[in-house]
Amino acid sequence: MSGHSKWSTIKRKKAASDAKRSKIFTRLLKEVQVAAKLGGGNPDGNPRLKAAIQTAKANSVPADNIERAIKRGTGDLEGVDYTEITYEGYGPGGVAILIKALTDNKNRTVAEVRHALTKCGGSLGGTNAVAHIFTDKGIITLPKSEISEEKIFDLALDAGAEDIEAEDEFWKVTTSVQDFDNVRSVLEGVTSNFEAEIQPIPSTTVKVCGKEAQQLLKLLDMLDDLDDVQQVIANFDIDDSELEAAAQEGAR
């Protein structure tokens, strides 16, 4: 399991706490709203909206909240107008970081992102400073309890999945952007309890350890906690045991 994937698993466990749930709801509903704004309010004709709704439901977001977010996106209800923006930067050890945000105030968001990077030994980069390292992939995550190993391999690979990995109690299915909708639809026929998103995946990784690992984990958590930030992706590699230790140290 790669360092970033392991960190994602740790985040998923943290997200089960009540303290994180309201922020997760807000983040998911912002994505629903923007998806509806950009592609219309009908999920059948808007793949991004369909994925956003699926992920929101998998995280127990109430249906009426989802519906209101769609209406805010289509203009049927008043709401904040969010703009998509991606920041690129470097973390401790030269780790490349992509920060995807939805914001109604670019000046505020870039200041918060720059502050977090600087405080933790990183720096903000310019356009395409690190983006060329990443390639968009479809990522579908679902509990192992929902589907057997034999069935997920048969269904997902036949539908066009590129890879299937076991991550603790979850299956992680990776697809090309082109095959994402098809694989998601096939798995949707088995269960609705999964998360699906397009995520940048790094072509290379950077090994970090010790104090740099602890500092990097602190930075990633700081960025992830920013209200405007939707997604943080980094190309680090940390040994599982050290990642767990760094995560525990950062939680103190």
Tell me the one-letter amino acid at 170.
F
Give me the CATH code for the 3-74 domain, please: 1.10.10.200
pLDDT, residue 14, reads: 58
pTM of the model: 0.85
Mean per-residue pLDDT over the chain, rounded: 89
Q: Is pLDDT at 211 greater than 50 in this prediction?
A: yes
Residue 1: what pLDDT?
A: 42
pLDDT digits (tens, 9 = 90+) for 53-105: 988 998 889 999 999 999 999 999 998 999 999 999 999 999 999 999 999 99
The domain limits of the chain are 3-74
